[in-house]
Amino acid sequence: MPFYRYKANNIDNETVEGMIQAASSDVAADILNDQNLTILALNEEKISFRERMLRVLNRVKIKDLVIFSRQLSVIVSATIPLVQGLRILVTQTDSPVLKTVISEVADDVEGGAKLSAALKRHSEIFSDFFINIIKSGETSGKLDDVLNYLADQQEKDYDLSSKIKGAMIYPIFIVSGLSIVGTLMMIFVIPQLTAVLIETGAQLPTSTIVLIAVSNFLQKFWWLLAIVIIGTYFILHALIKTEKGKYAWDTILLRLPVFGELFRKIILVRFARSLYTLTTGGVSLTKSLEIVADVVGNAVFHDLISQTVKEVEDGNSIATIFLQSKEVPPMVSQMLNLGEKTGRLDDILEKLAHFYSREVENLVANLVTLLEPMVMILMGIAVGGLFSAIILPMYSLASSL
């Protein structure tokens, strides 16, 4: 829905300005009239294409959002007026983009807009999950509690993603380095070494013939390989953007050995933690499930959760679809079913989030332990391949002279 900037007189005949979200200008006018405001000006707020592109390119780091959430929760808990607190946060924030956004949010709130509506204007920074949590706090009158929940969950999500990224840096660095060095050797070093073997006219082993063929191809057609790699990346990227392509890609990720199990557990952590935070914050179960479907970041689970929304709306159990799916561990489905029957769904979700968070941490730690020897084995195979393809034939040639 679009936003409308208004200028109006209140019941004390004071001029106020602000922002309101509505389906149309007529709806916006009705809302303002219901608030006993006499409209002086009402215009749709339009964001230029350049501004939209700048906001997309200048993304705010997750860490900055985590700090913002925590600081805002502290300010609200300390009963500091919201506008004043937001002005304080502008000076406390390091990110230039977030500084600007918080300042705009403060202006909108000062003009009479709700915090959730002001944040929604910046949906490229604040997710639906973030905005709906804030909205639930405003509705229930427990904004400070909800902000604490939000800050806690964001910190946990940030810690989890940081551990996973940290675990993957070493193997990605080694494999990338090996690929670059191997390609440069194939183009510049290997041809000089194999030229001697070719000139002798001796019968070469299969490994040497293959190595020479690969080296010759890279020398002459390296540009073609670059085009194929770049083209494949963009084609896959475009396919993943489609609904069917995204579903197929996410299905493949869940089927990967070892890593598939890691992705599944990360999704379950997001599901349980997000649903717990939303329901605890006062958001209805169906609305919470709709938001969580977008939070999990996997099309397969998005489809399952969307089906679950329909089941819940029809009066069925939240676990109905999960019990029928092979993608969801039986323990999750059974615990959700139990939590709903006993009226302790929040407690069950919290326990599931904690359990799978620990599972992810253990799996990541095990992967780090396994990846190091795997990288060493990969390096050994690469060195051994070069040795058998070049050094051994040279040794045999020298021995025969």
Name the nearest CA neighbour of 397 among 212, 204, 195, 213. 204
Report helix, strand or coil for 14. Answer: coil
Report helix, strand or coil for 47. Answer: coil
Q: Does pLDDT of 193 surpass 90?
A: no
Residue 165 within any structural domain of the chain: yes
pLDDT tens per residue, range 320-360: 899 988 889 999 999 998 998 888 998 999 899 889 988 98
One domain for residues 158 and 295: yes
Range scoring the smallest mean pLDDT among 100-104, 153-157, 346-350, 362-366: 153-157
One domain for residues 297 and 216: yes
One domain for residues 109 and 3: no
One domain for residues 359 and 225: yes
One domain for residues 165 and 308: yes
Q: Are strands 38-44 and 15-21 parallel, antiparallel or unpaired?
A: unpaired
One domain for residues 195 and 269: yes
One domain for residues 176 and 257: yes
Residue 51 within any structural domain of the chain: no
pLDDT tens per residue, range 269-308: 889 988 888 888 777 889 889 888 877 889 999 999 999 9
Q: Kindly report the number of other CB atoms within 10 A of residue 133's CB atom.
A: 29
Query: 150: burial class by Cβ within 10 Å (0-12, 13-18, 19+)?
Result: buried
One domain for residues 333 and 265: yes
> Angle 299-313/259-280 helices, nearest 10 degrees?
40
Residue 6 within any structural domain of the chain: yes
One domain for residues 238 and 273: yes
Q: What pLDDT is recorded for position 228?
A: 92
Name the nearest CA neighbour of 112 among 90, 88, 139, 83. 83
Q: What pLDDT is recorded for position 300?
A: 93
Q: What pLDDT is recorded for position 390?
A: 76
Residue 348 within any structural domain of the chain: yes
Q: What pLDDT is recorded for position 247?
A: 92
Residue 119 within any structural domain of the chain: yes
Q: Which residue has the tokens 């070892």?
A: 258
Q: What pLDDT is recorded for position 230?
A: 93
Q: Does pLDDT of 46 surpass 70?
A: no
Q: What pLDDT is recorded for position 303?
A: 93
One domain for residues 71 and 175: no
Residue 53 within any structural domain of the chain: no
Averaged pLDDT for residues 201-223? 81
One domain for residues 367 and 299: yes
The range of the structural domain enclosing residue 68 comes to: 60-126
Is the Cβ–Cβ distance between 97 and 57 less than 8 Å?
Answer: no
Residue 186 within any structural domain of the chain: yes
Q: What pLDDT is recorded for position 56?
A: 52
How many distinct structural domains can be found in the chain?
3
Average pLDDT taken over every residue of the chain = 82
Q: Does pLDDT of 50 surpass 60?
A: no
- Amino acid, res. 235: I
Averaged pLDDT for residues 88-95? 86
Q: What pLDDT is recorded for position 264?
A: 93
Report helix, strand or coil for 41. Answer: strand
Residue 287 CA from chain centroid, whole number: 21
Q: Does pLDDT of 157 surpass 90?
A: no
Q: What pLDDT is recorded for position 47?
A: 56
One domain for residues 259 and 369: yes
Is the Cβ–Cβ distance between 97 and 60 less than 8 Å?
Answer: yes
pLDDT tens per residue, range 248-257: 999 999 998 8
Q: What pLDDT is recorded for position 183?
A: 81
